[in-house]
Amino acid sequence: MSWCVLDEENFRRCCRLLLQQSEQLRDGWSWEAVQGSEEGYLKKTALRSVIVDSSPVWDHEGSASDSEPHTSCHSWPDQQGQEEKQAGLVLVDADSIKGGIEDEEDGEEDEDDGVCAVSEGSSQVLQYEYHILHSCSYSTPVLYFRAFTQDGRSLSLEEVWSSVHPNFRLRLQNSPLNTITLQEHPLLGQPFFMLHPCRTEEFMRPVLQAAQDQHRSVNYVLSWLSVVGPVVGLDVPLKYATQLHPAASLSSTESD
Amino acid sequence: MADDKDVLRDVWFGRIPTCFILNQDEVTEREAEPYYLLLPRVSYLTLVTDKVKKHFHKVVRTDDVEEMWLEYEGTPLKWHYPIGVLFDLHASNTVLPWSITVHFKNFPDRDLLHCPSNSVIEAHFMSSIKEADALKHKSQVVNDMQKKDHKQLWMGLQNDKFDQFWAMNRKLMEYPTEEGGFRYIPFRIYQTMSDRPFIQKLFRPVSPEGNMHTLGDLLKEMCPAALPNDGEQKRYQVVIHGIEPLLETPLQWLSEHLSHPDNFLHICVTPVPSD
């Protein structure tokens, strides 16, 4: 269904609308243009504070229902390769921990991103950089991101995996093509983590169908971002949807 | 056509004689001899350099050893690019053997992807094949294949088995006769003189009027600077698998016969040497 996909021109239009709202909300998105062309991508940097736990982290028998009070990390999909036991960052949103250690054994799910029980550790601030590009092969947006410690060290794939909420992790592991992998950024040529786009059409279809049925307009990029962003710690404030803004109709032929 | 099948074989069995030298800053227990190897153009560095790693591991202090990475004249070599592309892009006009420097320290993680195991290479390879089929067939052919078919493509590459690979790959090269070609051509154009790692956009093999697009048509649209102006001297060479195909060659034919095993046409645009 061709209305389910997002061509380059519509991608740019959706980005422009998102940018307008972002400016009003002070959400920090900017447009980076490829020199001398209309091509480009959305970019945002954000700081996340995490708890650093220097005890060995990687428990390859771990699973989503692991009852250990420590943060457990899955054996990630085979494609990540060899087992490694190493001390590293355990990424937990420090600002989402509510007074005390939560026991995962209770089966209580915390709605906030990445909350796991941790032993005491010091808090560290990480810098995340998110890019939204357009994939012409899949006609969808694609999310690229990278993260650094304050002393400029890049996070490893294992550390990034540990920052993904256990619920998302299980889902991602079962469909390897939705997984997070290290890829070359198509415009910058540097290593970035990427959330694979080939299943995007699947989850966007019901959203777009519902909007069409109800004669509502939808910003493809914004809706898509609200689904994939939280998986990698990117918050999309509700105000994007509730604030008044110019209509973003996909079938509109108005030019900017 | 018998001739065309020969092209497929020539592409598959292309080799580059290479000499691996240990970076002189690496601390060794004894002198490190260079290691010579014929590299397959269509494969990936990390898939074929286990012997190189073993050879140099013998002389380097083992507690010092991290992930191996390779470099040519100061440029870290991206293992996720086919070997032939790396050579054509960086070293095509130099004397053989290709001289590559081996490192075990200071992995440049702002430039290179890590490659902890062969399954990472497999995932990358299969991801390229799937992306190519998304362009050629809206993913229909690759999605109709079973897991074992996907595995056959990878094993064919890994074990250098032309027949095993093409038994499956030929399905990815088919198209409805009434269409005249694929939906879009999977291609990437690499230029050393650009900030961008490559150009990849949508391009149809057949024009709306029904004419077959050529290599020249593709370049005119995507990379016009690569083409000489009338009467001017040629400033750039357009290289695929180490040769310069005629610009009049139909793009559909190139896609079917000169693609890499990942189903992409990798095109290198480099300056003509000034000598």
Q: Could you tell me the CA-to-CA distances from B260 to A168, B49, B129 in Å, in that order? A: 35, 19, 10
Within a 10 A sphere around the Cβ of A219, how many other Cβ atoms?
Answer: 23
Query: pLDDT class for A3, splitting at 50, 70, 90?
Result: low
Domain assignments of chain A as residue spans, ordered by start: 8-253
Query: pLDDT class for A82, splitting at 50, 70, 90?
Result: very low
Residues paired with A47 in a beta bridge = A127
Predicted pLDDT of residue B5: 87
Q: Encoding tokens for residue A35?
A: 């020199």
Any idea which of A217-231, A239-253, B206-220 has the lowest mean pLDDT?
A239-253
Written as one string, the DSSP assignment of A6-17 is --HHHHHHHHHH
Q: What are the percentages of helix, strand and coil residues in chain B, rounded to 5?
A: 35, 20, 45
C-alpha span between A147 and A155 (Å, rounded) = 6
Q: What percent of chain A has pLDDT over 70?
A: 62
Q: Is A5's Cβ below 8 Å from some Cβ in B?
A: no
Q: CB of A213 within 8 A of CB of A207? A: no
Which of A1-5, A97-101, B62-66, B260-264 reaches the highest mean pLDDT?
B260-264
Q: Is the ipTM of this complex over 0.85?
A: yes
Average pLDDT over residues A227-253: 72
C-alpha span between A252 and A248 (Å, rounded) = 8
Top residue of B81, B121, B131 to mutate, by most chain A CBs within 10 Å, is B131
pLDDT at A104 over 60: no
In what helix (H) or strand (E) does residue B126 lie, and over which residues does it extend?
helix B118-137
For residue B111, which residues of chain A lie inside 8 Å, CB to CB? 190-191
Phi-psi region of A26 (alpha: psi -120 to 50; beta: other; left: phi over 0): left
Which residues of chain B fall short of a pLDDT of 50? 1
pTM for the full model? 0.84
Predicted pLDDT of residue A245: 55
Of the candidates A148, A134, A116, A145, which has an alpha carbon nearest to the alpha carbon of residue A232? A145
Per the document, the length of chain A is: 256
Q: What is the CA radius of gyration of chain B?
A: 20
Are A34 and B196 an interchain contact pair (Cβ–Cβ within 8 Å)?
A: yes
Predicted pLDDT of residue A63: 34
Selecting among A4, A15, A73, A198, the annotated active-site residue is A198
Predicted pLDDT of residue A91: 52
- What three-state secondary structure class fits B140? helix
Are A183 and B113 an interchain contact pair (Cβ–Cβ within 8 Å)?
A: yes
Predicted pLDDT of residue A55: 40
Digit-coded pLDDT (tens) for A125-184: 889 999 999 999 999 999 999 999 888 888 888 888 877 777 777 766 666 555 788 999
C-alpha span between A126 and A144 (Å, rounded) = 16
Q: What is the CA radius of gyration of chain A?
A: 19
Q: Which residues numbered 118-147 in B keep a CB inside 8 Å of some CB on A?
A: 119-120, 122-123, 127, 130-131, 134-135, 139
Q: Encoding tokens for residue B233?
A: 């001297």
Query: Residue A79 gets which letter from DSSP?
Result: G
C-alpha span between A131 and A142 (Å, rounded) = 8
- What three-state secondary structure class fits B76? strand
Compute the Cα dihedral for B252, B253, B256, B259 and give only its sign. Answer: negative
Pairing mode, if any, of strands B15-22 and B98-103?
parallel
Are B119 and A186 an interchain contact pair (Cβ–Cβ within 8 Å)?
A: no
Predicted pLDDT of residue B3: 74
pLDDT at A220 over 50: yes
Q: What are the percentages of helix, strand and coil residues in chain A, rounded to 5?
A: 30, 20, 45
pLDDT at A87 over 60: no
Query: Residue A63 gets which letter from DSSP?
Result: -
Distance in Å, alpha carbon of A75 to nearest chain B alpha carbon: 14
Query: pLDDT class for A84, splitting at 50, 70, 90?
Result: very low
Are A191 and B120 an interchain contact pair (Cβ–Cβ within 8 Å)?
A: no
